[in-house]
Structure formats: structure tokens, C-alpha cells
Amino acid sequence: MTVDPGPASSPGAVATPAVPRRTALLLDALAVLVAVVLLGPALLPGLVLSYDMVWLPDLPVTQAGWGLVDGAPRAVPSDQVVALLDELVGGVVLQKAVLLGSLVAVGSGAHRVVRTAPAGVRAAAVVLATWNPYVVERLLLGHWTMLLAYAVLPWLHVAGRRAARGRPLPAGWLLLLPIGSLSGSAGVATALAAVLLVGVVGRAGPRRWALLVAALAAANAPWVVAGLAAPGSEPPTAAAARTAAEVFAARGPDGVPAPVAVLGLGGIWNTDVVPASLAGPWAWAWAAAVVGLLVVASRAVAGGPPVRERVAVLGLAAAGLGLGLLTWCWPAASAAVALAVPGGGLLRDGSRLAGLALPALLVGAATAAARATGATRATRAARARGARGDRRGVVLAPALVWVLPLLPVAALPDAALGVQQRLEAVAVPDDLARAADALADDDVPGAVVVLPFATYRAPAWNGGRPVLDPTPRALGASGREVVAADDLYVDGRRLPGEDVRARAVLAALALPDADARTDALLRLGVSHVVVDRGPDVADAPTELVPGLRAKPLLTTDGWDVRRLEGRAAPPLASTGRVVVLAGAWGAFAVLVAAGGLGALRGAVVSALRRNRRAHR
């Protein structure tokens, strides 16, 4: 995406000289350095599998990826986009490009938002945007789609500022919307940001508002349509919604109140992914710094952003941080939303949108820099007139600016090197691909169930780290439908999933004898089972991996493939659902193509302009 080469100050701001290109390149290099130090071993050969981050060397294109299965479309469109792209570069390279690219993008975008500030402040913006509790906790929990949504925030901000000056939006800005909308929660975050940063900050007229709304609809169409069209999805009961709201409410680690954690860009519900440094005084320091920057962002200053921009970024921060605080103090409200609004469960993870505070934090940093610069200039002017002043203020202010980039690292030291080796790349066993091949080679039609019928595993080959079971995704290469468990167990509390068929499979597995269990699975269209093996499933409850009447097809160290004895019921076709999903994906593809062509055109035009300037 091309960026306006002129000053990025907002309307009404004091004009400043254009920032040298060399400075911008050095700051981009800093963004790369910070991202590499943060990811550490995650960039080594292999794949990082952590909680919801489930990648494979070659993720297959499946019906589930298109949204043509029962249950909530949690991996739509992310899985299918990855499956299509890894045909070009491979899953290992693609994952590293996504993780490294998202962190570099947010850092390089952050310094462009504050491009009129001193270089030290711009460097601090790079580090703060990349090295903070939100990024670290989302990395460990595997929310890479949220990191992509987070990465587009400063670029949407830059685009809105450019539009506010009466200039066209940057070429390729439309591509930011699908990149930031690869899951439901990410799509909500990107939509809020685009409305406020491009629409409000950019002073959009009716035509631009229409384009923005249409583009956001296309960017979110795959997961929205898949969710609305899912025939086998059942809304939660009131009790289940209440339990989920309590489990996913924002919280702090031991000794840290939830509001402090949220205001410090943390507050994640799974405290196992919270770095140790955030369980003590540093959590309070992060909260104080964030609140301080938000307060500064609300103040008018000469050379700073206008009221419209300050209101927009503070509104975005209020939405992100306010949701986290709301889920903590009033979980019944998020439960009510989940019951009343389709897809309302997306909002129950209270801290997931905390990253929306980033634009306001950057505005706060720029405003503070403008105030400090103004004070320094006033002191110098007074001294030039012969007035007495504090010489230390003139000397120390520039020196202290260069300390700022070190503060986020000092306040979160254990984020370095993949959060102390917790983000470690591993090799996925080849036996998993062999299991998929065995299913593909068998002529008996039907769906597959993975046993134990549970959502998460902690396989030895992944270092015993918890991860959403990768087996169902890998078995999609067989061309068969895979019925996966979608119940969650958090702190011993069961959160029932929405997939009616998965619920029926669980009930079938609980029947008293092998024949009854097998016949019930056959009636559900299940013809095969694949049994995970390993120390992490050896003690699984019997009802999750019961005996069945089945013939072994393949036995490996990690997985057993078995065919049920009997004939599975044929699947029910749904032509209408295919048609509406095809339309949704078509709109998504058109948006990606339009954004990609715009970005390519902008890059070519920028290169030609630089070439002309070089030959003058």
C-alpha cells in the first residue's frame, strides 16, 4: 500500500517538513528487529501450535473451510484462505510470514501515525505497538487472525488522515479489510476501526460511506453467511450462555484486579498465557501508562490532531477496553447478547478487542511529544531573549526521548524469544498425513469422527503444550467430512458447543454397548473413526474413546484408522446453502482482487515517481 510522502499531520495541525525516507526505513528495520526478538524460536523450521493456533504443513481445502458444515464457523474464512495460499508457499513459510508480517506491519504503521514526532518518540511507537501485553497474550493463545486485525489499525488511521486532507485514499486500502476480517471477532474489530478511522477521521462523504459499508460487508460475508446458513447449529441455553460469559470474562492473574489487567492491554480469560511479569507491579505500570496516554490523547495541543480525530480514536479505545470491563463487572449483559443476537457470543471474550486502543495510544504519544517539543522551544526562545530558564529541561528532554523505546521491553521482559521459548516451532508427524491417505483410499463412503471426542490435546510431539486438536483439519485431506467435538472444558466447567451433529455423536458414544454405539454413529452418517494415541489421551474418559464394532485400516504410533462395520446413512444435500455461500465468497474474492490490484498499481506508480526524481 502506498503512503502519502508528505507530512501526516491532521487538518489544523502545524505543518512540518516531510520526514526523510532514510528515517522511515530505519524505523521499519527497527520494527523487523523487535518482531524477530519477540518471536524468537517461532521463526525456526517447523510450525507453532499453541491453543487456537492450528497450522499444518499443507492444510487441505475442505467443505468445512468453505463453511459447508454444521456448527459455528469459527475457522471461516481463515482456514480456507490458508489452505489456498499454502499451495503457493507451504504452510511452514506461510505461518512465519503471517506472524512476522503482522508484527512488522503494526510497528511500521505505528511510526507513520506519529511521523511528525521526534525520532525517539517514533521509535517508541514501534516498540509499544509490537511489544505489549495484548500482542503477547494473543500470540500464546493462538489468535493470529486478531493480530492481523490489530496490524491493520495504524494503516487505516494513516488512510483516514490522508482522506481528511482531501486526498484520495491510499492505493490498495481495500485490501486491509479482508486481511483484518479472517474470523468473526477480527471482522468486528476491523469494521469498528474502519468506520471510525476511515469514515469519521477521513470525513467521508456519502459515496465513500457507501463504498466503505459495501467493502466491510464483502470482507465479512463468508463467516456471516456461513453462520446464518448453518442448518445444524443450535443457540445456547440461558444457563450455557451465562456459564460462557463468566468463563470468558476479563480477569487478571493472581494478585492483579481485572480492571488493572484490562487497562494494561491484558485481561485475557486464560491466565495460563499471561507472562509472569504481568502478575505483579508491572501490570499496574502498564495500566498507568495506557490511562496516561489516553488522557493526553484527549487534550488539544497546537500541532496535534483535531477534535474529530481525537473523539474517533478515543471512541475506538472505549469500545475495546470498555467491552473488557463490561464482561468483568456485568457478565449477564454479554450472556444476554449471546442469547438475543446471532453471533453475539463473539463479544463474550472481554479482552479480545483491547487492541483497539492502539490508535488512541499513538495519538497520546504524538500529543505528548508535541507538548514537550513546544515546551522545549519556549524555553529556548526565553533563553534567547535573555530570560532565565532551567537549562536541564532543554538538555534532558531530547536525551529522555531515546529512553522511551526501552520502556515497553523493560516492563515486559519475559516476552523475548517467543515468550521464553513458549512459542516453539515443531514438526507435525508424518503419520497424520498417512491417516488421511488411508481414509482417502478406502471406498466406503461416510464421515469421520476423531476419538477421543474432545477439543484440545497436549501431544508429546508438541512439547506437551495444549493445542486445538489438529487431527480433524488434517483428515480433511481425505475428502471426507470430519465431525469434530466443539464442547469446551475450562476450569472443570463444560461449555456445550453449537453443533447439533457433534452433540448427537457425543450422545451415541455414551450408549451402553459397542453395537449400540456403532449403529448410532452409522445412522449419523459416520463410517470411520480415527483414534489419537499418545500419553496425553491415555487417561481420557472412557465415554470419549469407547469401544466400537470396527475394522482396523491403519495403525501408527500416533493414530489408528478404523472403519465401522455397517453402512453409514448418506449425507443430506443443501443446494441453496451452497449458492448463498458461493455468493459470499465471490464478494470476498472481488474485494481481495480490487484491493490487490490497487496495491500493485500504487506500488508501480510510487516506483516510477522515485525513478523520475532520481534522474532529475
Mean pLDDT across the stretch 559-588?
Answer: 89
CA 336 from chain center: how many Å?
25
Q: Is 160 exposed, middle or buried (0-12, 13-18, 19+ CB in 10 A)?
A: buried
pLDDT above 70 for 215 = yes
CA-based diameter of the chain, in Å? 99
pLDDT for 230 equals 77
List, for residues 126-153, the tens digit of each pLDDT value.
999 999 999 999 999 999 999 999 999 9
Strand-pairing partners, residue 490, are 493
pLDDT at 374: 56
pLDDT of 345 reads: 82
Q: Are strands 482-483 and 467-468 parallel, antiparallel or unpaired?
A: unpaired
Q: How far is CA 86 from each of CA 79, 81, 93, 97, 281, rounded to the nearest angstrom? A: 10, 9, 8, 11, 43
pTM of the model: 0.93
Q: Which tens digits make up the pLDDT trace of 37-69?
A: 999 999 999 999 999 999 999 999 998 999 987
CA distance 479 to 210: 40
User: What per-residue confidence (pLDDT) applies to 375?
Assistant: 52
Tell me the one-letter amino acid at 464. Answer: G
Task: Dump pLDDT digits (tens) for 228-239.
Answer: 887 766 777 888
**What pLDDT score does 122 carry?**
94
Within 8 A by CB and 6+ apart from 391, the residues are 383
**How does strand 447-451 pair with strand 482-483?**
parallel
Cβ distance 136 to 275 under 8 Å? yes
Cα separation, 229 vs 467, whole angstroms:
28
Q: Which three cell numbers stand for residue 367?
A: 500529543
Asked if the model's pLDDT at residue 441 lies above 70, the reply is: yes
* Predicted confidence (pLDDT) per residue in 247-274, tens digit: 999 999 988 999 999 999 999 999 999 9
Is the per-residue pLDDT at 603 higher than 90? no
Q: What is the pLDDT confidence band of residue 3, given thresholds at 50, 70 and 90?
A: very low
Alpha carbon of residue 492 to chain centroid: 26
Asked if pLDDT for residue 309 goes beyond 80, the answer is: yes
Separation of alpha carbons 200 and 194, rounded Å: 9
Q: What pLDDT digit, counting tens, does each position of 505-529 carry?
A: 999 999 999 999 999 999 999 999 9
C-alpha–C-alpha distance, residues 351 and 348, integer Å = 9
The CA distance from 106 to 382, in Å, is 40
pLDDT digits (tens, 9 = 90+) for 472-499: 999 999 999 999 998 888 877 888 888 8
pLDDT band of residue 379 (cuts 50, 70, 90) is: low
